[in-house]
Amino acid sequence: MSWLLVPLALQALAMLIDELYFHRRRGLPRWERVGHPLDTLSVLGCYVFALAIAPSPAALGGFVALAVFSCLLVTKDEWVHAQHCQPAEQWLHSVLFVLHPIVLGIAALLWQRQDRTLLWLSATLTLGFGLHQALYWNVPWKKLFQRSSPSTTISTTSSASVGTAPTTIQSRSYEPNPASEIRG
């Protein structure tokens, strides 16, 4: 049973390196900001299926269909990756492509054995990672935190106002919104 953890742990480690190092270093174009959470959702769909449906020959066909769809879906970004990724990131993606069907095969084995603990753990971690992907890359966090709060500034104007009391001006400063598709 413990050997099943090796591919799961390797995939988790590779995903974290890809997300926390490569993606944040280069930013993600819109296609990937939308596509990566969909990839994760396809994996989550396999886990949820295995947790919700009792194993049977007919159900196995349904799981295999979901797994094949997921394996094909994760390759959709390679056209974008070819333009945006360095060789090290491309290599990491190839490792993930090898691990993807292995991990889904392990999920099928756990499902057939009705070993729900590791399935629940995998589903929960996958859901958390998918939420991170969707929120981190698609909610305009920088825009929310770049607005400074109203500030009070004392105006020091030209000599035309000498002898008058300084005025207080309420101002809000906003960062310009770059038209870039890539979040940095």
Sign of CA dihedral 103, 4, 47, 56: positive
Angle at 124 between CA 119 and CA 130, to 5 degrees: 125
Whole-number Å distance between alpha carbons of 138 and 44: 19
Is residue 106 assigned to a domain? yes
Tell me: the pLDDT tens digits for 13-28? 999 999 999 999 998 8
Is residue 48 assigned to a domain? yes
Higher pLDDT, 105 or 145: 105
Query: Mean pLDDT over all residues of the chain?
Result: 83
On the question of pLDDT at 72 being above 70, the answer is yes
The pTM is what?
Answer: 0.75
Is residue 173 assigned to a domain? no
User: Can you name the residues that pair with 168 across neighbouring β-strands?
Assistant: 154
Tell me: the pLDDT tens digits for 92-132? 999 999 999 999 999 999 999 999 999 999 999 999 999 99
Domain of residue 28 covers 2-139
Q: Which residues contact 4 (CB under 8 A, 6 or more apart)?
A: 106, 109, 110, 118
Across 175-184, average pLDDT: 43
Is residue 88 assigned to a domain? yes
Is residue 86 assigned to a domain? yes
Sign of CA dihedral 72, 73, 74, 75: positive
Is residue 151 assigned to a domain? no
Whole-number Å distance between alpha carbons of 169 and 113: 70
On the question of pLDDT at 169 being above 50, the answer is no
3 state SS of 151: strand
Could you give the number of structural domains in the chain?
1
Q: Are 100 and 12 in contact (CB under 8 A)?
A: no
Higher pLDDT, 104 or 148: 104
On the question of pLDDT at 44 being above 70, the answer is yes
Q: Which residues contact 103 (CB under 8 A, 6 or more apart)?
A: 7, 8, 11, 43
Is residue 60 assigned to a domain? yes
Is residue 100 assigned to a domain? yes
